[in-house]
Structure formats: C-alpha cells, structure tokens
Structure 1
Amino acid sequence: MSRNLLTPEPSSRLDRGLVDLAGRLLPRICKGGVKGRLSILIFHQVLSEPDPFRPEALDAETFHWQIALLAEHFNLLSLPEAMERLRQGTLPPKAACVTFDDGYADNANVALPILLKHRVPATFFISTGYLDGGRMWHDTVIEAMRLMETDLLDLSDSLGQRFLSGTIHEKRRSTRRLIALLKNLDPSDRDALIDQIIEPVSSVLPTDLMMTSEQVRMMHKSGMTMGCHTVTHPIFTTVRMDTVRQEIQQGRAELESLLDEPVTLFAYPNGRPFDDYQAEHVRLVRDLGFEAAFSTARGVATQDTDDWQLPRFTPWDRIPSRFMARLLFNGFHTASTRVPLP
C-alpha cells in the first residue's frame, strides 16, 4: 500500500497528527467490558479505480488506507464473535466490525485481498437473486445511463419528467434524480419503468457486477462470514408482509445451500428504521430465528441495544483525519434510532 496518506510529507503532517490524536482518544470513548461499545462499519463497493458514475463508491487505494487505520487503532472482531462478547460483557476496548452489503463482485476481487493482507475479518450480507450474472436495479439505471447515446431521455408519459443524457455531468445528475424517483416505488412498477429506460442498451449491459456463487463459497472458505440480505433487496415498507417473509426465507435458504451451514445474521435492505422497516419486520426476523439483525442507523451497539436492530454506519470521508474523527464521533452515540416493539 502507498503510505503517502498515512506517513505524509511535511505538508500533510497535520493530518497524521490528528489521526494519532483520535487514536489516543478512542479508548476513553469506545470502552470494553460490561460498558463495551461496538462500532460496526458498513461498506458496499470497492472499485479498482475511481468511477465518475459511482462517486460514492470507494476505490482500492482509499479502502486500503481505511482498513490499515482500522487495523492500527481498533480491535477488529468477526461479527459473530463481537455479538457473543457484547452479550457477555467481554468486549475489548475499541471493538469494531467490518461489514459489506449486497454482494458485489469487487468485494471478492478487490476488497478481499486487502482484508486478508491486514488480517481483518468481515461479514458480507448477500442478496442471492443477483448472484451469477444479475444486477441490482439501481446499477441497471447507472449502467444504462453510462451507455446512453441520446441527448435526452424522455419519461414524460411515465414519470412526468425528461432527463438530459448528453454529457457525463448531465448523465450523473439524471442518474441521481432517476434513482431517487424510482427508489420507493412498488418494485413491479419500478422494474417496468427500468425496462423502458434500458431498452436501447439492454443487450450490452454488464453481467459481472455481482459475485458468482463460487466467489461466495471462496470468501467463506477464506474465513469471512456470510449473512442474509434477502433475494432481491426490496425495501420492506414498499411490499406486502408475505413478500417480505418469502424474500427472507428464500434468501437464507439459497445462501445456506451454497455454504452448507446455517446463516444466522440478517441485514435489512436499505436499513433505515421507520422508513425502510417497521416493528412487524423486526418481529418476523426475530421469529425466523436469526441471532442478530442490522440496520443503517448510526451509533454504537451496547448491551442495551436490541439484537435485531443493531446499528451500523458508513465512514464516507476520504481524508484520514476526518475518517478517524467520524469514527470517534460515532463512538459517543448509542443506537437511539430504532423501531419500538410492543
């Protein structure tokens, strides 16, 4: 790994100094034992190179220094071990876990070698319906806009809007608008609109964005944990309860068939309490026998946290000192945002 961001030249010494200061403060905030505080990080993609159509996705160099900092300043545990020790009150100080959602192929091709180099365990929550050549719906929109050769995408009849698609900047803005509009639609309505959008480029869309079944097995054999993330990643508040149950049960069964062992961890698609899942969904996950489930609410987990609404947060920052500051700040907050259960 290039160390310019971690051991910088004099012009960047301030950044390194702030990183070290945050590291010294962490044990005071992220305590261990019965008052233990567990930080759970969530990642999605790790691209080999930056992609202008996916500005939020990490590239390999950024992920590398982030994992190096985590390994230097935290006690990184596998998620199953961390959950057991959290319940027992035996967490070490500065306890943290790394998780990934969805099942992107770059998790195996790019992220895994970095994790193994630093001996960092991670949990991967897999949406099984996209393995072996599938695509998540928002990726279909992104890739269709990337390939679009017209200057205007006219969806006046369906969405009442038109989208500029001439330059890369227009395509990026239009992609963000489209995803925001489509996100909370009923999945069948959303997919029908996406079929309309991709029609001119459907034959050349990529089929290698998500993992293969063999990659899932390979990652598990390398020591990584696999968790359930449904089949097709529906936002639970947009579909019927029987659909939610079927998505969870089928996703779990498919993953267990691949791994030949029980799958005991679950992550809610999108994961925001109230907006994306509600009390009946938490009860269903619990009643289906999962040992723990994870949201995308910020904060750290403690012994008082609901085991089926454990918090995770995304460290977006691309500067080491800000990355460490966000981890430190998150450590102050226990998981207060959760759906109350009767």
Structure 2
Amino acid sequence: MRVPLSILIYQRVLATPDPLFPECLHARRFEQQLRLLRRWFRLMPLSRAVTHLAEGTLPARAACLTFDNGYAEHATVALPLLQRYGVPATFFVAAGYLDGGCTWSDIVTEVVRNAPGERLNLGRSGFASYDIGCPVRRRAVIEMLLAALRLLPPAERAARVLAMARRPTPTMMSSDQVLALHRAGMEIGAHPLHHTVLSSLSNAAARAEIAEGQCRIEELIRARVSLFAYPSGKPGEDFEQRHGLMLRAHGFEAAVGSARGAAGSGSDLFALPRFSPCEAGNGGFLLRLAGNLFTRG
C-alpha cells in the first residue's frame, strides 16, 4: 500500500493580521492549524519522513511542516508556537539574506504600503505614477509591480527595486536566530545562496549558488545540511532534473518544490511536492489538506 506524505509549506507567519493582505497567515491562525495538524496527523521531521518514504515504511497520516526563505518571524513567532505544541519543522534559509536582508518582493510591498499621500511616482525605477488612494488600489499596484518585475532578469530587477527604496527594512533572520532554531531541535535546510530561481542560471552559476548556500549554513550551525528547497519551486519551470543531479552531487538527500499533491513511494526525492495551507477557516483547511492527499506528486 502506498502511504502518502503531506508536506506543508509556510512562508510569512505574521504576529498580527495584516489589513492589506488579510489572507496572510498570522499567529492565531497558525496556532489553530497546529492544533488540527497535531490531532489528525503524525508530524515528523522532513529528514525522517524522507528516509521512511525511500524505505517504504512511512506511517499512516504522516506530515511535515516546512518554512521557506528565512523570515525573522520564523524565529520570533513560529518557533514559540511549534515548541508549545511539540511540533518539529524544517526551515529553509537563503544564507545570502541573513543579518539584514530582505527579498525584492518585500521591498516593493513596503514601498507601496508606506507611501504617503494618494499617488506614488515610480518614474526613477522605470514605472509610472499610480493612484494609491485606498487599500484596494495600493494592493493592486503592489500586485502589478510584482508581476512586472518577476519577468525581468535578476540584475535588472534588483536595480529597479533598489531605485524604489535604497534602505529597505530587513525582514530576514539573523545568524543568531538561525542558531536558535537549530538549538531548539528544528531542522535547517538550504536555498540557493541568493534565493535565485535555478532555471534562470547557467549550470556553473547554479552549482555555485547551491554549494555556497549549503556551505554557509553548515558553517553557521556546525552540522550537515542535507535538505533543499527550490525558490518558487515549479517543476519544469523553476527547476529541472539537472538541478536534482547537482544537489545529489553536493550530498543533499532530498529537495522540495511547490507542486501540489502528496508524496508517495514512487515520488522523486529531489522534486517532492508541498501543500500551501492558506485557508482561514478550520473546515476549509482540513478539506483542502484531505483533498491534497489524493493528488500524487
């Protein structure tokens, strides 16, 4: 019998609800999900689940929690709740963002969110002037900018984003916070060094991003790093089979993407699917999670 493995992917876990993005996960909603997960699933570290998956010994109702990017609130908000409920988790960290970094998308969001007045002129960054007179329009401008910038080459995107805000507010963890997660018994995995989509890089550049990202995290926590998460994570679009071969060559044991579905005994360990738990209500959350079990990755 093929027992499925549910792997959940979390990114932001805010301390309080965000009025501009009410669907974003926050502490109270995350705590509700932890209670449900602990009641209905057998929660285990991803490394142990991968071993069981490879050996065909995965227990029923197995599930893993994973966190991407390395946001500071993973240490300040998520960790205390995980400890309270005795839930293990794996945190994928982009080492290049530690100690004062933030993603380009967070910079864009901050600029539009905090802009004074009812219009925002982004001429210096190659855009136009936009009406931001109400929350709905501010959010629409954020989504438009993110969609446009996502299509640009990384260097051009970085230059245009930095033209919007030369001193963005850091959103990522410090090295000490990563150490705190590790010392609390949480697993630490790696992203590429600069959280760059691997398919956008040459083979040589992709290998360098993988190796340096892994090396810096291992030096920080003084332990082996054997789990990897692909940025964005769409199979065939953001990563390909060649990238899994690169990860094997660097000693990784498994990698996760963002395709829907549950992993099974025949799943590629270097392209494991994950479920994104974004439902606000408990019923909707459990229904989506149950439905995910019938989509095999």
Normalising by structure 1, report the TM-score: 0.83
Query: What is residue 280 of structure 1 aligned with on the other side?
Result: 242
Does residue 58 in structure 1 map to residue 32 in structure 2?
no
1:318 CA drift (Å): 0.6
Query: What is residue 234 of structure 1 aligned with on the other side?
Result: 196
Q: Which runs of structure 2 are paired with 1:1-342 in the superposition (5 Å)?
A: 35-155=2-122, 159=126, 161-198=128-165, 202-203=166-167, 205-207=168-170, 209-335=171-297
Distance 1:152-1:241 versus aligned 2 partners, 3 A rule: farther
Q: Is the 1:271–1:297 Cα contact (8 Å) retained in structure 2?
A: yes
Q: Deviations for 1:180-228, whole angstroms, at most 9, x for unmatched residues?
A: 1111311100011112222xxx34x323x21110110111111100000
Structure 1 distance, partners of 2:131, 2:202, is: 35
Q: Deviations for 1:2-59, whole angstroms, at most 9, x for unmatched residues?
A: xxxxxxxxxxxxxxxxxxxxxxxxxxxxxxxx52210000001111101134444201
Whichever of the two has the greater Rg, that structure is 1
Q: Deviations for 1:280-332, whole angstroms, at most 9, x for unmatched residues?
A: 22222222221001110011111100110011110111111110001110011
Structure 2 distance, partners of 1:162, 1:238, is: 30
Q: Is the 1:149–1:166 Cα contact (8 Å) retained in structure 2?
A: no
SS in 2 for 1:102: coil
Structure 2 distance, partners of 1:224, 1:158, is: 40
Structure 1 distance, partners of 2:182, 2:124, is: 46
Q: Is the 2:98–2:173 Cα contact (8 Å) retained in structure 1?
A: yes
For 2:155, give the aligned amino acid.
S
1:159 CA drift (Å): 5.0
For 1:294, give the aligned amino acid.
V
Structure 2 distance, partners of 1:288, 1:152, is: 49
Between the aligned residues of both structures, percent identity stands at 40
Q: Deviations for 1:79-98, whole angstroms, at most 9, x for unmatched residues?
A: 11111111122211100000
SS in 1 for 2:258: coil
For 2:179, give the aligned amino acid.
R
Q: Is the 1:297–1:312 Cα contact (8 Å) retained in structure 2?
A: yes
Structure 2 distance, partners of 1:245, 1:273, is: 18
Q: Deviations for 1:142-200, whole angstroms, at most 9, x for unmatched residues?
A: 111122125333456865654323333322110111011111311100011112222xx
Query: What is residue 17 of structure 1 aligned with on the other side?
Result: none
SS in 1 for 2:140: helix
SS in 2 for 1:293: strand
Q: Deviations for 1:242-276, whole angstroms, at most 9, x for unmatched residues?
A: 22221111110110011101100000001011221
Normalising by structure 2, report the TM-score: 0.95
SS in 2 for 1:47: coil
Q: Is the 2:42–2:61 Cα contact (8 Å) retained in structure 1?
A: yes
Structure 1 distance, partners of 2:88, 2:73, is: 17
Structure 2 distance, partners of 1:228, 1:195, is: 25
For 1:182, give the aligned amino acid.
L
Gaps of 5+ in 2: none
